[in-house]
Structure formats: C-alpha cells, structure tokens
Amino acid sequence: MRFELTRDYLEALKSSIQQEDKKLIKELTANLHAVDIADIFDEIDIEEARLVYIHLDKELASDVLVELEEDVRERFLSYLSGEEIATVFINNMDSDDAADIIGELPEKKQDEVLSHIKDVEQAGDIVDLLSYHEDTAGGLMAKELIAVNENLNVTACLEEIRKQAEEVNEIFFVYVTDDDSMLTGILPLKQLLISNGKSKIANICDKGVISVKTDADSEEVAQVMEKYDLVALPVVDSIGRLKGRITIDDVVDVIKEEAEKDYQMISGISSDVEASDSVIQLTRARIPWLLIGLAGGVFGAMIIGIFENDLGKFPEIALFIPLIAAMAGNVGIQSSSIIVQGLANNSLGLDSTSQKLFKELSVALLNGIICSGILFLFNMFFLDSFALTLTVSTSLIAVIIFASLFGTFVPLALERFKIDPALATGPFITTTNDVIGMFIYFGIGKLFFGF
C-alpha cells in the first residue's frame, strides 16, 4: 500500500520521539520504503531524524541516506563521525552510492571515512569512483556486477555467478570478458538457462554489446540507454576493459537533474537552487538574468526615446508597441525551445544549420502571414489610419521572421561552442527580440508614415 505523509502522522511520530517511545517509533516506521522515510526526514529536525535512524535496520538506514535531499543529508552527516558514517552507512551501500555520499563530504572527513572502511576492496572501489567527474559515466557507474570469462562453459559459469551474486543486488546481465578483462559480450540470463551445460560462453553470448567509456558525458549515457531501451549499460576504459555498469535508476536521476537545470535556465535562474535555499542563494541565482532584462528594458526605452519626436506627431504608433514586443519574445521562445529540445534528445537529425534555418523561416513566414492577416482585418475595421494598419501588419511579419530565425540560430551556435543551449531559451532571447522588434517596428513606421 502506498504511504501518504500526513500532518497527523508527523505529530504522532514527533510525540513518540519526544517521549522516547522506541516501540511506537518502530511501529510508525515499520514497512516503510526508504523514499517515504526520506520524505519524513525532510519535515522533522536533525535531532529527531537521528533518533529515528537509531531504530532503523542498517541496510534500510543506508537506503534512506541515499534518498535524502543533498542539503538535508549534508546537515545530518555533519552530526556523525567518520567512523559512524563508514560502519553504519557506507558498508551497506553499493559503490556508486557510497562514492556519491563520500564525495559530498569535506576532504578531511572523506579520508576519515575511508580509513574506517574495513573491506579494503570496497574502499578501493570507492576511491576509484571518486577519481571520475560526477557528470561522467565513470562517476555514475557502480563496481558491483557479474563478469565471467568467455572460456568457461555454462556449468562453470553458473558456479561463478553464484559466488559473485552475493555482492550484487540486481542482476540484469552477465558480462563476458577475455583473459585481459576486455569486454567481449553480454550473456542474457534466459540464454544461460536454456543452453547446454557444456556450451562455451564465447559461443552463446551476444557479441553486439553496447557500452560507453568512463569519460562519456552523463547526458550521452542517458541518450544511449533511452535509444536502445537498456536497463543496464556496461562502462569500459579507453582500451575496452570492463570497469563497471550504470543502471536505469541512476540515469533517471540524471534526466531529472538535467530537466530541472534546463527549466531553471529557461526561467532565467543561473544556478541550481531549491525553494528551501536561503534568500541570498535565491537572489544570487536570479539576479544575473534580471539585470540582463533590466538592460534590455533600458535599451528599449532608448529606442523609444530616439523616435520621441515622431511619436509626438503620430501617437497612435505607440498603441502597438506592447503587441510587437510580446509577439517577438513569444516567437523567439517557441523557436529556441524546439531547437533546445531537439538537441537534448538528438531528434534534429542530420540536417545542416542552413536547412534548419530554412525550415524555421518557412514556419515563421506562414505564422506571420496568418497573424498579420488577422491583425490587418481587425485594424481595417477599427482603425482610421491605413498607414498604421500597413505598418503594424508589415512589422509583425518582419518581427516574427526575425525572432524565429534568431531563436533557431542562437541555440545552434551555443551548441557548436559547447555552451548549454538552454541558455538561449530564457530572458536572453526574450529581451533581445523585444529590443530588435521595436527597432524594426519604428523603422517600418518611418517608411509608411514618412517621418
């Protein structure tokens, strides 16, 4: 049954903690998933969380620690010694989760935790993983996997799997290597079960194994797993030796983090922040793009100032300034969002930049004709000035075309220079298109009104 966190439940749990009622604490947390307990810890203070932790099974406590939000986990771990972290949590974690947790600690505390890990092989695996950047395949992978030599037969392979399975929570594939630990294939469990006991593994494994190198970007990993519908992906070094595996749960986290980061960039937030962050942190993340928007507004005001005398003679032109600016910003956001989405999921195909721009030009032209046609008919009925009608309709087509091309070109250019194209979908596109849109509007107005 799915657990639902309610205020009544929290009050009951806090009451049992205050009364140090161990039996009730265990009853309230019995049979809960690690994620549910992590959600509870987000709502109680650190001291209360520590008292609950004491009564959790060690393996469950480790799973809960992994599921906690980073800021909550950081505060919680600050209350514990390096020895407590190593013995209570790290010893019960997979290597990738353990490396992630230790990597968040100060360097001095990292060394302290590693020194208290009794299993030297586990400590070595964690140190290896810490050497990789967190946003690469090496930083995502876990060392726990099952690998067998290609020269074994099925019977010997099954015996080897039994030995290795004690260290692996989930078995998706059996990886096949040669005498030099080079990845040569994968062995689906079904194929292993239906094969003759004397069959050689090299003869029944799938040689068409898909893998990534340790330095592959995390986004590339997610794209590979999505494209080939993989639940686990082997990771090899630069010469093809098997180093670890990445499972689907790790990739889901990557996709979620990337989506959150891109959404924040689109919204004009320059760094990764949470609603629970301090006022200073939130301000620091928001202010850069707000200043860019402010600068754009100043430039817009300066453009209006350039045409101030002309606006005095033909004040009706000012009526459509908001419309032109709004359409320019909206069209630019639409174009850039489509391109950024295509770049993110590799759905743009092999078209060149010029082909993409031509396609967007065609779409912009059609949209411009439709919108300006509707506006032309509206103004013909409700405005007395034919010059203004022509100015607004012509300007709208020109602005839509420019905004579409600009919104397409900028993310493509950023991608070429290895800059996150999501930067192009936020206030930068909107502000730039607003300013240039007004300049186009006044320029065309000057032609039709003759000022």
The residue ranges of every structural domain in the chain are 7-140, 147-248, 279-449
For residue 375, what pLDDT is reported? 93
- Residue 419 and residue 353: Cα distance in Å, rounded? 17
Rounded to whole angstroms, how far apart are CA atoms 72 and 94? 21
CATH architecture of 279-449: Orthogonal Bundle (1.10)
Contacts of 170 (CB under 8 A, 6+ apart): 247
DSSP letter at 188? -
CA 400 to CA 440: how far, in whole Å?
A: 11
Residue 266's pLDDT is what?
65
What sign does the CA torsion over 246, 252, 254, 255 have?
positive
* The amino acid at 233: L
| pLDDT value, residue 149 | 96
Say yes or no to pLDDT of 183 above 90: yes
Q: How confident is the model at residue 426 (pLDDT cuts 50, 70, 90)?
A: low
Helix (H, G, I), strand (E, B) or coil at 438: helix
Q: What CA–CA distance (Å, rounded) separates 277 from 70? A: 12
Residue 154: its pLDDT value, please? Answer: 94
Note the CATH architecture for domain 7-140: Alpha Horseshoe (1.25)
For residues 169 and 216, the model is more confident at 216
For residue 436, give both structure tokens. Answer: 């240039």
Give me 214's structure tokens.
């340790």
Cα pseudo-dihedral 163, 169, 175, 176, rounded to 10: 0
* pLDDT for the residue 89: 85
Q: Are 87 and 61 in contact (CB under 8 A)?
A: no
Higher-pLDDT residue of 420, 132: 132
C-alpha to C-alpha distance for 392 and 368, rounded to whole angstroms? 12
- pLDDT digits over 190-210, tens only? 888 899 999 999 999 999 999
pLDDT tens-place string over residues 102-116: 999 999 999 999 999
Single pTM value for the model: 0.73
pLDDT recorded at residue 246: 96
Residue pair 237/136 in contact (Cβ under 8 Å)? The answer is: no
Q: Which of 222-236, 272-286, 290-304, 325-339 has the lowest mean pLDDT?
A: 272-286
Q: What is the pLDDT of residue 418?
A: 76
Q: Which amino acid is at 229?
A: D
pLDDT of residue 52: 86
Q: 147-248 in CATH: which number?
A: 3.10.580.10
Residue 273 in 3-state DSSP?
Answer: coil
Strand partners, 177: 149, 183
